[in-house]
Structure 1
Amino acid sequence: MRPSARPVYFFIGGMLMLFSRPTPAQVTPDDDLGQRPPKVAPLFEQPGVLTPRGTYVLEPAVQYAYSSSDRIAIAGYALIATLQMPRVDVREVRRNSTIASLTARRGITNRFEVELRVPYIYRSDAMVSRDVTGGIATNRVSDASGKAIGDAEFAARYQLNEGGLNKPYFVAGLRFKSRTGRDPFEVTTDCTTRCTGPGAAGTALQLDLPTGSGFYALEPNIAWFMPSRPATFFGTFSYMHNFKRSNLSRKILNGQSEFLGEITPPDSFGFNAGVGFALNEKTTVSLGYDHIAITRAKQNGRTLPDSLRTQLGTLMAGFSYRLDPQRTINVSVGAGLTRDAPDIGLTVRIPFAF
């Protein structure tokens, strides 16, 4: 059970979590500095400009992410003629994830807002496995998909200070992730008796993909914004804690289950930084970098041997255009720079304020 921000075990599109909440795109007037952070094209998931007091925002959004991986494993030895040759297994995996979500925000005061986000997820995985031992390749193709509501999230954010030109703004946030999605322990794997240990039979591949992580999570974060004409610099530091679960079992074929016990999912540390430019009173663009470090998972108090620390680095670019005072279109693109990050991601959002 190797942790990853890809939807392998504990995280969904997670990665899918590489795109930010929206903010209207416009040049911030001089007399507004000192009261609210500057408005820039959004890149990251963490907070941007807060919703004004008494204002509601509804934000429909569509996110798409694609990732691929190639793995070569030496599974054992095969006797060929009088030589012992390693049995080499090559796997190609292609993952596609699409998330349609609706986010609602309300400004309680000019410095405090609350948010609710409900996603609907469609995922599809395709894997080609081939045994190339002895120069003879035998292909095995498997496909899996899943679609359902994902994990709903609730967040609250508070602006800590009054910044200004060349003075940073700080916004503290707290995000709670629920377990409303179909979790990995609710889907069936291809194992017949058990997936690990003595008597294991099967590859532990999921026949139907989950749409939730399976664990409650809490993430405190703090964002900063530094207006410095003609650019605005911004960034975030965050820590996500996933709460452990006990008496868990994994579903296998023929209606049976394999007892797993207590699972402690990995936590993650994140930071990002970027710079935004206002091209005119309606258009802004942003560039940035996002990084997430994921710790190792544990089972029954012991670190899983195949659970590795994972680094996810993504280069981000964003564009924002204000259609009218109530509507803005935001587009962001991410390109993975590390091995475990999604290869490409695209997000389109159109928030409505009223």
Structure 2
Amino acid sequence: MSTKMLSFVSLLAVAITPGLTEAAQADKDTISTDRSTAISAPKQDHDPATDIASITADRGIVTRPGRFSIEPSFSHAHSNSTAVAIEGYTVIPALLIGLINISEIQRDIFVGAMSLKYGFTSKFEAAIRVPYLSINEDLREREVFQGTPVDTLRESSGEGLGDVEISARYQLTDGLAGWPYVIGGLRVRAPTGEGPYDVDQRVIEDNQGNPIGIELESRPTGSGFWAFEPGLSFIYPTDPAVLFGNLSYVWTLKEEQGFENGGTVDPGDIVRFGFGMGFAFNERTSFSLGYDHSVIRKTTFERNIDLFESNFDRIQIGSLSFGLSQRLTQSTSLSLTVSIGVTENAPNSEITLKLPINP
């Protein structure tokens, strides 16, 4: 294979968006999680585009027909936020009468996942991803106007199977005549993890024994809702780099849960988009820089004839990611991605390590 062709293959391999399910995802998935870069071995008897396996967040070229791709992965996301709640009134701009509650929340999410992909044709592949989550959360708070210097500490954790994802992707264009590669996809997330309404709850009381809220006994490992995500990915090789982008919409089904006397919860749908560029240092090492953003719409709660909405109109989650990939053998790559949250609700940092294997 010529030097020019090898360069094209290496550059195209890094055109995958650094990606939280989950938890992310987020869930984030997550909200939360799906970020890295990879290079597959060039083959002289194949179209270079089909020689590059789709790794991570469905941003690459589809898997070759009749071939499996196995991808174990591990990620750690850390979040640290401070919230100030004020209940009172202002006498003058410098004097507040009432109660100020300051709380600090630290959350660590560890996700181990196994993904399996299979190429049915040169343009169509299907995949399944099974995650396992471990979540630790610490809450430190102090009621400032109670006259106590002692912080109240609460710890909670959760561990178990997350939401399993099944996806299918189809390559719509061949990237010829100056056009980008366009890949259409559909991802389905099943509520196999323990959702927020599946875990036990306890009532929080104030110093006088009055109930002031409800707290979960443990952290949920799943969303508790079915979700469907159609989307498009774009890859445009332009020497000496590759430009990429993606756009998708997450439609979440509402469920009858959350209220003892019957009610329906409708989680807000999500609009996701991302863009970036990849660059190959040589035939084995590649680097990518990308940005991902999610807009989560307002959640609504219905009980009998009453309708309630969440306090936030919408939630913005944006992350800037840096990815580095090294091809270890002809069939194995190792990729490392570091993501930094740039919006208030995004995880402070996330580190993802993946080992895609193409036997």
Contact 1:6–1:341 (Cα < 8 Å) also in 2: no
User: 2:84 aligned to 49, 72, 93, which one?
Assistant: 72
Q: How does 1:158-169 map to 2 (within 5 A)?
A: 158-164=170-176, 166-169=178-181
Match of 1:196 in 2: none
Are 2:326 and 1:326 aligned? no
User: 2:136 aligned to 124, 127, 130, which one?
Assistant: 124
Contact 2:163–2:193 (Cα < 8 Å) also in 1: yes
Distance (Å, rounded) in 2 between the aligned partners of 1:28 and 1:86: 71
Q: How does 1:1-354 map to 2 (within 5 A)?
A: 11-15=26-30, 17-20=32-35, 23-24=38-39, 32=47, 35-36=49-50, 45-76=57-88, 85-133=97-145, 136-164=148-176, 166-191=178-203, 201-246=211-256, 248-249=257-258, 258-259=260-261, 261-300=263-302, 302-354=307-359
Distance (Å, rounded) in 2 between the aligned partners of 1:56 and 1:6: 24
Distance (Å, rounded) in 1 between the aligned partners of 2:36 and 2:357: 13
Distance (Å, rounded) in 1 between the aligned partners of 2:31 and 2:73: 12
**What runs of 5+ residues in structure 2 fail to find an aligned partner?**
1-19, 90-94
Could you tell me how far 1:191 is from its partner in structure 2?
1.4
Amino acid aligned to 1:346: I
CA displacement, residues 317-351 of structure 1 (integer Å, 9 cap, x when unaligned): 10111111111111111000000000000110101
Could you tell me how far 1:241 is from its partner in structure 2?
0.5
CA displacement, residues 208-255 of structure 1 (integer Å, 9 cap, x when unaligned): 111000000000010000000000000100100100011x146xxxxx
Could you tell me how far 1:203 is from its partner in structure 2?
2.9
Distance (Å, rounded) in 2 between the aligned partners of 1:264 and 1:350: 36
**Range moving further from structure 2, 329-338 or 158-167:** 158-167
Match of 1:80 in 2: none
Contact 1:97–1:122 (Cα < 8 Å) also in 2: yes
Contact 2:132–2:161 (Cα < 8 Å) also in 1: yes
Distance (Å, rounded) in 2 between the aligned partners of 1:5 and 1:302: 29
Distance (Å, rounded) in 1 between the aligned partners of 2:212 and 2:42: 58
Match of 2:10 in 1: none
Contact 2:203–2:213 (Cα < 8 Å) also in 1: yes
Residue 16 and residue 24 in structure 1: after superposition, are their counterparts in 2 closer, same or farther (change >3 A)?
A: farther
Identity %: 30
State the secondary structure of the residue aligned to 1:133.
helix
Contact 1:18–1:290 (Cα < 8 Å) also in 2: no
Contact 2:236–2:243 (Cα < 8 Å) also in 1: yes
Distance (Å, rounded) in 1 between the aligned partners of 2:76 and 2:36: 15
Could you tell me how far 1:188 is from its partner in structure 2?
1.8
TM-score w.r.t. the length of structure 1 is 0.85
Residue 299 and residue 11 in structure 1: after superposition, are their counterparts in 2 closer, same or farther (change >3 A)?
A: farther
Distance (Å, rounded) in 1 between the aligned partners of 2:332 and 2:219: 35
TM-score w.r.t. the length of structure 2 is 0.83
Could you tell me how far 1:6 is from its partner in structure 2?
8.1
